[in-house]
Amino acid sequence: MVDLRQTGAIKGIYSLIVISSLVFCVLLNAGCTTPALSRDMTVNNAVIKKKFPYSVSLYVQGGRQSEVGELPQISDEEFKKALVSSITNTKVFARISEGPSDYYLEVIIINISQWLYQSGVHVEIGWRLTNKMSDEIVWQKSIKTSGEAAALNKGDALEAAIKENIQRGLEQISTLEL
């Protein structure tokens, strides 16, 4: 009787399976490490109820750089760029200030939930708008959104979830009585 473990055919199939698995993992990780980019998270077409003649300064937190071989992330820098561009495009506030301003908007990434073998990404972002003159919090909300993309491109799903979150946040701010 021939021992199948010793034949070249079995060794060849085993090698093919191992190599295919390794290639799949490399490709999967390559798609996962694409960081979120501000240009793909910028809101252009929000339904803005009111445009305020006030200035706003921004504070963002909770982001982090993507590392090779891990699921995509968003840096604070890219997140802030997306917010600045979105506020500028929608004209919710008259101007964005790096110094003194009428309002202070804190936008903090609370949670990014994503799984290696699923295409969806869930994001929770905390929003707080403070009147700087009175130091009164005029609006505060945690907004949860989701994004979908092809399984090998988690960056697109993350960008979609964050873009929707920014849109919802700005739309809700535009309904306030400031």
Quick one: which of 168, 124, 160 has its CA closest to 36?
160
CA pair distance 80, 74, nearest whole angstrom: 10
Q: Give the pLDDT score at 31.
A: 45
Could you confirm whether domain 33-173 is CATH 3.40.50?
yes
pLDDT at 22: 43
| β 103-114/136-147 pair status | unpaired
Please check whether residue 85 is in contact with residue 38, taking contact to mean a CB–CB distance below 8 angstroms.
Answer: yes
Amino acid at 140: Q
Query: Do residues 145 and 165 touch, judged by C-beta distance below 8 A?
Result: yes
pLDDT in tens, the chain (178 residues): 555 455 555 555 555 554 554 444 444 444 444 555 656 668 888 899 999 999 999 999 987 776 665 666 788 899 999 999 999 999 999 999 999 999 999 999 999 987 766 668 899 999 999 999 999 999 999 999 998 876 556 778 888 899 999 999 999 999 999 9
DSSP state for residue 13 in the 8-state scheme: H
Domains of the chain by residue range = 33-173
Going by their DSSP bridges, the two strands 103-114 and 93-96 should be labelled as: unpaired
pLDDT, residue 176, reads: 97
Q: Are 36 and 77 in contact (CB under 8 A)?
A: no
